[in-house]
């Protein structure tokens, strides 16, 4: 059984600043970090530039992308573009420090490329993760069995509703980092500021692991840090 350090704070801004400080104290220049998109980390990203020490550190880290839409619906911003807008451009992080997923490439070939890249440069020093309302981490959706490595997934109806406004697409595919690759990170920061996700978060932190609740694979990670409301 792993051990987790849980920070509880009802104010999302206070929670984000605590995470920012913890990252600053733990990470070193040239460390490889997985960073997410979505609503959970938006506040963290918006306050990074308030702290010059954090800005300087983040300019010296290396980043590997967690997931990406495959042939996203029209008018949908790619996750790489979102990260560029929210993190890389505001903090002036050079492009050669970012290992991205190409949403226009052949998905199978891209997954193989990413697996080879991960084997070469990984595992990450840290992974910052959010949690989906159905328990997914990255885009690892509930399923019946274990899968390893970067993979192509069909997003669940729940995830599509959480991520798209009208018109809601019927089907969306994505490439996602594997649960085994995430778990190989030396430290995991799980940021869940939404009080409505408390129940699914609790289920993820309990044993045993079930592929029907993908986030439950984190429950026994030896260095899990949870930030929740």
- The stretch 157-162 carries a mean pLDDT of 95
| Length reported for the chain | 229
Reported pTM: 0.96
With bands split at pLDDT 50, 70 and 90, how would you rate the model's confidence at 1? Answer: very low
Average pLDDT of the chain, as a whole number = 95
Nearest to 125 by CA among 1, 17, 223: 223
Instruction: State the residue range of the domain holding 215.
Output: 4-228
Summarised one tens digit per residue, pLDDT across range 88-137 is: 999 999 999 999 999 999 999 999 999 999 999 999 999 999 999 999 99
Secondary structure class of 101 (helix, strand, coil): coil
Summarised one tens digit per residue, pLDDT across range 20-36 is: 999 999 999 999 999 99
Secondary structure class of 181 (helix, strand, coil): helix
How many structural domains are present in the chain?
1
Question: Which CATH number is 17's domain given?
Answer: 3.40.50.1360
Which of 63-77, 108-122, 213-227 is least confident? 63-77
């Amino acid at each position: 059984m792993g051990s987790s350090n849980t920070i509880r704070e009802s104010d999302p801004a206070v929670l984000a600043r605590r995470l920012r400080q913890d990252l600053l104290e733990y990470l070193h220049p040239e460390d490889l970090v997985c960073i997410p998109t979505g609503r959970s980390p938006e506040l963290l990203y918006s306050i990074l530039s308030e702290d010059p020490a954090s800005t300087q550190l983040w300019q010296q880290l290396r980043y590997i992308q967690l997931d990406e839409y495959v042939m996203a619906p029209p008018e949908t911003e790619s996750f790489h573009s979102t990260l560029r807008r929210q993190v890389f451009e505001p903090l002036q992080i050079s492009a050669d420090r970012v290992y991205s997923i190409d949403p226009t490439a052949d998905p199978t070939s891209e997954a193989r490329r990413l697996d080879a890249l991960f084997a070469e440069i990984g595992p990450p020093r840290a992974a910052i993760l959010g949690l989906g309302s159905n328990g997914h981490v990255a885009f690892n959706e509930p399923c019946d069995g274990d899968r390893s490595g970067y993979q192509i997934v069909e997003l669940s109806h729940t995830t599509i509703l959480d991520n798209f406004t009208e018109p809601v697409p019927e089907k969306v595919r994505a490439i996602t980092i594997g649960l085994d690759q995430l778990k190989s990170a030396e430290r995991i920061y799980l940021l869940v500021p939404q009080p409505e996700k408390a129940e699914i978060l609790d289920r993820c932190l309990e044993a045993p692991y079930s592929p029907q609740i993908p986030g439950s694979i984190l429950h026994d990670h030896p260095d899990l840090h949870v930030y929740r409301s």
